[in-house]
Amino acid sequence: MLSVSNLSISFDESQVLEGFNLSVESGDIFALLGDSGSGKSSALRFIAGLENAMNGSVVLDGADLSLNGVHSVKPELREIGMVFQDYALFPHMTVFQNISFGIDHLSKKSKTEKVASLLELISLKGIEKKYPHQLSGGEQQRVSLARALANSPKLLLLDEPFSSLDKSHRDELVKDVRSILKKQSVTSILVTHDEAEAKAFADKIGKIEKKQLFIN
Ligand SMILES: Nc1ncnc2c1ncn2[C@@H]1O[C@H](COP(=O)(O)OP(=O)(O)OP(=O)(O)O)[C@@H](O)[C@H]1O
Ligand SMILES: [Mg+2]
């Protein structure tokens, strides 16, 4: 389970979040809505340990990751996966190299098996040798998801991963990614502008208003 409490973030004297609280049960998918500039990405970045805050604590599966605004665990040790809006795949690396990037310490055999099973999970078997530019936007987002899931994170953060895709592809991918995350019981937070997308994807929805989170 993830619990974020009393998060307060400001930039240059302007307060973005103040007393923001959020809990996500293990295996649940939570959608975070809010106007542009309301602090959605900042909240995710703090949970990942990438953003500083005046105050705020993060507990994930019983472990303190941040306490009263101080990060106690480094981002790379948090066991948190992230997927962003622009498919952040490395353009000069193949799909195999992209997905296995975070599990490079494993043997060649384990990596090969792991990548094959992740590609099966995202319904893109056999594309190990392709480069990102040879894939559609939706396919690139599936590969980004596979990469984020490769080291079995305890929490997955998705920051508008569908918003650069056209509507027809988006609806299908939203459904598919939800079913992949549910199959693997990955606790997840999706940031989106789109209320319909939030409803189709998440078990629970909250909205940032007046610097705080309100659960619908
Ligand atoms: N590193 C930074 N330095 C200064 N201001 C920042 C920084 N990061 C974010 N902000 C400001 O904090 C506010 C919240 O930004 P944030 O990116 O969290 O919003 P958001 O809800 O994700 O918006 P969007 O929906 O447009 O992505 C914005 O006003 C933004 O300009
Ligand atoms: Mg944002």
Element holding 95 (H helix, E strand) = helix 95-99
> Within a domain: residue 210?
yes
Provide the residue range defining the domain that includes 70. Answer: 1-75+187-216
> Within a domain: residue 147?
no
Determine whether the shortest distance from the Cβ of 192 to ligand 1 is under 6 A: no
Determine whether the shortest distance from the Cβ of 41 to ligand 1 is under 6 A: yes
Which of these ranges, 8-17, 74-83, 159-168, 188-197, has the smallest mean pLDDT?
159-168
Rounded to an integer, what distance in angstroms lies between the CA atom of residue 44 and that of residue 131?
Answer: 29
- CB within 8 A of 169, min separation 6: which ones? 136, 137, 138
Task: Give the phi and the psi of residue 65 in degrees, each rounded to 5.
Answer: -100, -35
pTM: 0.95
Q: Structurally, how many domains does the chain consist of?
A: 1
| Predicted confidence band of residue 87 (pLDDT cuts 50, 70, 90) | low
> Within a domain: residue 117?
no
Condensed to tens digits (0 to 9), the pLDDT of residues 112-161 reads 999 999 999 999 999 999 999 999 988 999 999 999 999 999 999 999 99
> Within a domain: residue 23?
yes
Q: Are 171 and 26 in contact (CB under 8 A)?
A: no
CATH of the domain at 59: 3.40.50.300
- The whole-angstrom distance between residue 56's C-alpha and the CA centroid of its chain comes to 19
Nearest CA to ligand 1 atom 13: 37
> Within a domain: residue 62?
yes
The residue whose CB lies within 8 Å of the most ligand 1 atoms, and thus the one to mutate among 12, 15, 40, is 40
- CB within 8 A of 12, min separation 6: which ones? none
> Within a domain: residue 29?
yes
